[in-house]
Amino acid sequence: MRAEASAAGSPSQPATASLLGVEVLPSELARADGARRLCLCTAIALAAWAPSIALAGLAQDDLELIGKNPLVNGGAGIGQAFARDFWHHVADSGLYRPLVSLSLRLDHILFSSSTAGFHVSNVLLHAASVAMAGLVLLFLGPHSKTRCLPWLGLAVFAAHPALADSVAWIAGRSSSLSALLALCAMASVLVTFVPWRPAHGARLCLALAGVFVGCLGSLCSKEDGLVLLPAVVLIAARHSRRLFLLTTASAGLALACWIGLRMSVFGSIWPNPVGAPLAPHALAERLAVGGRSMLEGLRLVAWPAGYPPAYDRAPFLSVAQAAHTSSGVVLASLGFALWSTWWLASLALVFKRPRSVLGWSSCLSATSCIAYQQWLALGAVFAPRFLYLPLLLGVPLLSRALESVWDRFPAWPRTRSALGGLCLAGLLVACWQRSTVYADRASYARAILRQEPRDYVAWNNWGVFQWEQGEHSSAESAFRQAVAFEPAYSKPYTNLGGLAFQAGELASAQAHFERAAQLEPDNAVAWCNLGRTLLELEQLVASRMAYERATASSPGLVAAWRGLARAAQAQGDLEAAHTAFERALELDPSDALARKALGRD
């Protein structure tokens, strides 16, 4: 009896359980349960977004990104992806995302012009991010007294409808690709935790190489990598000081390489999207918009309903203009108060428990929200795709919040299961419905106009869709509606000029293009089309000057270089024409018109 009692109660002999006739430790059972739940979350991600393969098509700027991009269709060399702006073929945007361009090029090779193939890649990237995040969290566990994996939060991240921007929209894949590569870097660090062959030294070298490649790849996919890199380093800190220092050096080298690449293209470290709507506004006004963005972001996480794929600028800018009024101050203060409470509570938890996964993930999730607080004017005022990184980093926090509700029904397992199944079904249906928004440009524009009928950008995009369908009168009406709501918006004038040019009304086309160029001097498409119109009117000097303005504003616009060559040729300046054709062919070696002009067919 004494021996049995001693064996049962000995601290050196932990209790075991039987799994398929094999004695295993409770921690191993927990990991096995976590692995099953990880597979479930990955399956939920696939079930939530697989319908987008059939329901979604080319929305917003997908056509320009894929069909007219020499980096995607194979016209330009692979190395050019690292040497130019993401939108260089249309107009520079200040974004550096070479790996996104190369991933689209791979899709084009595999699927040609099939849009379904591009959506397959998007779905698989997101599902892989869910699986890799779960794997990292599983090895970092436990995350509570009873669970080794924060699977409830991971399941919500897998099927949150607000993530449609990053999954159902082809151009939005930068978020999931950046996250996946950073998660791979984290998994590389975890390789050193596991005792498997090869020897420790070889595993360490392999891990550091994985950290470098993953971190650099994440940064070259989206600027989200700047927030994800600290997470990689923090994981290493849980192991040992030596691994922390080596991982920091490897991640730092990746960051230095990214800075060097970016400097070689832009001459600047920080992202500086061209045409950011809040760029002319003072800091106080931008922060007023940031406070409202925080409120809307928190609302979308809790209740993802009743929101457009892109938010109209007018309500946000009205808040900016009212930054010094009581309403503007209240909105901004409330948003920042909620965020500050979240961030400070996370810091307190980190100081209390420095190795807490919950504390660090909550802190990093809160930190990632700074990107849309408008301390710097970084493009769109707010978009649902901004939530991808906060939701990913906040999986443990979200899971803990849901567990507190889930665990209120321990005595009613059927009720708990029914409630969980109902919530999951609701998320899946919401994701399927959300995927239809990205069916085409028309669906995308309609989704915005349902929320804000005065959105002039959406009216312009609706007009572009009507034009593509051959409905010229409807297109003209939409463009004029956009102008009516925002007379200073140049793109509708560019498109009205294009309609007039097609109809042979060259004088009207010239007037529209000149108006667009006057409103936005860097509107390269307007200058290019103006040059074409003036060439038709045989105003050769003015035409050449317009084309020169277009190439100066957008050096990657192939049509502008071709037009400049034609204008120079018409003036008898054959040397300048040859140089311009050469430049067009350099940008897109597959350009048929330039090849023919240079006699290289």
405, 436, 467 - which closes a domain? 436
Query: Is residue 552 in some structural domain?
Result: yes
Q: Looking at the domain assignment, is residue 103 inside a domain?
A: yes
Residue from 500, 506, 455, 512 nearest 478 by CA: 455
Helices marked H in 503-591 = 506-519, 524-536, 540-553, 558-570, 574-587
Residues 162 and 252 in one domain: yes
Q: Are residues 382 and 530 in the same domain?
A: no
At 529, which CATH number?
Answer: 1.25.40.10
Enter the tokens of residue 223: 């600027």
Residues 391 and 507 in one domain: no
How many CB atoms neighbour CB 146 within 10 A?
10
Q: What is the DSSP string of 171-234?
A: GGTHHHHHHHHHHHHHHHHHHTTS--SS-HHHHHHHHHHHHHHHHHHHHTT-TTHHHHHHHHHH
Say what the pLDDT of residue 13 is. Answer: 38
Residue type, 349: L
CA of residue 466 relative to chain centroid, distance: 27
- Count of domains for the chain: 3
Give the Cα separation of 538 and 541 in Å (integer).
9
Look at residue 241 and tell me whether its pLDDT is greater than 50: yes
pLDDT confidence of residue 32: 79
Q: Does 510 map to a domain? A: yes
Average pLDDT score over residue span 422-428: 91
Indicate if the pLDDT at residue 9 is higher than 60: no
Helix pair angle (200-219, 174-191), 10° resolution: 170
84 shares a domain with 184 = yes
What number is the average pLDDT over the span 132-143?
Answer: 88
Examine residue 382 and state whether it is found in any structural domain, yes or no.
yes
Distances (CA, A) of 254 to 208, 305, 368: 11, 39, 20
Other residues' Cβ atoms within 10 Å of the Cβ of residue 226: 18
Domain boundary among 436, 464, 493: 436
The number of residues in the chain equals 601
**Is 385 in the same domain as 452?**
no
489 domain-assigned:
yes
**What pLDDT is attached to residue 597?**
84
pLDDT of 514 higher than 60: yes
* Same domain, residue pair 151 and 210: yes
Q: Span 163-190, mean pLDDT?
A: 95
Between the alpha carbon of residue 231 and those of residues 61, 226, 227, 333, 548, the distances in Å are: 32, 10, 7, 29, 47
Query: In the beta sheet, which residues pair with residue 22?
Result: 19
Q: What is the mean pLDDT of the chain?
A: 87
17-19 and 22-24 strand pairing: antiparallel
Residue 196 pLDDT exceeds 60:
no
Q: Are residues 449 and 431 in the same domain?
A: no
For residue 290, the model assigns a pLDDT of: 87
Q: Is residue 19 part of a domain?
A: no
CA distance 473 to 245: 65
Range with the poorest average pLDDT among 4-18, 122-136, 415-429, 492-506: 4-18
Same domain, 248 and 293: no
Q: What are phi and psi of 19, to 5 degrees?
A: -130, 110
Looking at the structure, tell me whether residues 309 and 258 fall in a common domain. no
pLDDT value at 404 more than 90: no
Residue 503 has pLDDT above 70, yes or no: yes
pLDDT at 113 over 60: yes
416 and 482 together in one domain: no
- Average pLDDT (504-521) is 96
What share of the chain has pLDDT > 90, as a percent? 63
DSSP output for 34-62: HHHHHHHHHHHHHHHHTTHHHH----TTH
What domain range includes position 206?
Answer: 28-266
pLDDT, tens digit (0-9, with 9 covering 90-100), for 318-376: 655 555 566 667 878 899 999 999 999 999 999 999 888 999 999 999 999 998 888 88
Indicate whether 432 and 526 sit together in one domain. Answer: no
The residue with greater pLDDT, 112 or 379, is 112
Q: How far is residue 302 from each of residues 16, 156, 161, 398, 474, measured CA to CA in Å?
A: 41, 11, 11, 10, 39
The three-state secondary structure class of 452 is coil
Share of the chain above pLDDT 70, in %: 89
Number of Cβ atoms within 10 Å of the Cβ of 483: 22
Distance CA 132, CA 143 (A): 17
Indicate the burial class of 233 (C-beta count within 10 angstroms; 0-12, 13-18, 19 or more): buried
Taking 70 as the threshold, does the pLDDT of residue 474 lie above it?
yes
The answer to whether 53 and 116 have CB atoms below 8 angstroms apart is yes
Q: How does pLDDT run across 552-596, given as a tens digit for each residue?
A: 999 999 999 999 999 999 999 999 999 999 999 999 888 888 888
Last residue of a domain, one of 393, 418, 436: 436
Residue 406 in any domain: the answer is yes
248 & 221 share domain: yes
- Asked if the structure places residue 15 within a domain, the reply is no
